[in-house]
Amino acid sequence: MTESIIFALTIVVPNLALIALGYFMQRKGQASQTFIDQASKFVFTYCLPALLFFSVVDSDVDYAKQATLIAAGVLITFILFIGAEVYAKFFITDSENKGVFVQGVFRSNLAIIGLSTVSNAYGSAGLSIGAVYIGVVSILYNTLSVLTLSRTSQDAEESWASRGIGIIKNLATNPLILALLAAFIYKALPLPPLTGVIHDTGDLLSSVALPLALICAGASLDLKSMLRPSGLCMQASAARIIIAPMLAVVIGLSFNLTGIHMGVLFLMVSAPAAAAGYVMAKSMGGNEVLAANILAFTTVIGMFGMALGAGLLHGFGLI
């Protein structure tokens, strides 16, 4: 039992500490909105791609088991998406709330919270497996988010064809996806290992990625809004914090996942709502206040849920 508690705390406490530091910096005026925006863009454009690229290039991944893990993740995503769409159809009236609710349910923060907890739990082995998982599932996330948010797009003249082109353009220029594709191609070709200055530079960028991203996440929190959540916020958050992790366990066991692969699946699926979801909701005419509340509530409360779930699974020897 003690070992499981230590395992759970090891996963989430470093993340919570950095999120708290970011919030403290924001409250003290040490992290302006300009800093947050620029630092977040720097992490997304350079640091996270470097982390994902070198995690894959340096790894020796078992792609057979990885395929099973990804299949489980894709199935979970579709179950959550379809379930949330059905719920929204019958129980949510305002169109600007429907897509935001659906996205809050199915889309987790893979690249920051998910990847950092996997790194805390499993080190470089977890990073390499998580990187490949992110490469596939993030494409699905972006596509489904555009589909569900398109019903509230402020540009009424925008056709489905133009939206489809927009999806393809966003995916084709996404730095994380490009970094992963480059890593897969590099590993597939008979090329020598990357060493020396190139690898050292990549390591330096990689080491900045997760800490700075977590600090920015903390600096972006609005606790006042989080403490006054709407009914829809609580419903979406409950699905993200409770239903998604439970579904991950059920699907993971049905796919016979164990050890590190079960752990990666659980931590990726259980991660709080994605920060990118707020940006996308705002840009496409969704209820940005609802999106921000879901993001804040699941980021703070969901971390404790991840710790509890991981501790229980570790105690039963499943991860």
Q: Which residue has the higher pLDDT, 185 or 167?
A: 185
What is the arithmetic mean of pLDDT over 57-72? 79
Q: Is the pLDDT of residue 152 over 60?
A: no
| Sign of the CA dihedral with 131 first, then 133, 134, and 136 last | positive
CA dist 22 and 36 (Å) reads 10
pLDDT at site 230: 65
Q: Which residues are bridge partners to 273 per DSSP?
A: 108
- Residue bearing the bigger pLDDT, 136 or 279: 136
pLDDT score at 166: 67
C-alpha span between 254 and 299 (Å, rounded)? 28
Q: Which residue has the tokens 């993030």?
A: 138
| Angle value at C-alpha 190, between 187 and 192, nearest 5 degrees | 80
Going from the C-alpha of 51 to that of each of 58, 119, 141, 195, the distances in angstroms are: 11, 11, 20, 15
Average pLDDT over residues 227-232: 70
d(CA 176, CA 277): 16
pLDDT at residue 167, as a whole number = 66
pLDDT reported for residue 155: 46
pLDDT tens by residue, 24-51: 998 888 888 888 888 878 887 888 888 8
Tell me the mean pLDDT in the region 55-82: 85
pLDDT 10s digits, 174-191: 787 788 788 888 888 888
Max mean pLDDT among 50-64, 100-114, 251-265 falls in: 251-265
Question: In the prediction, which pLDDT does 85 show?
Answer: 93
Q: Is the pLDDT of residue 160 over 90?
A: no
Question: What pLDDT sits at residue 86?
Answer: 94
- What average pLDDT does this structure show over 90-96? 84
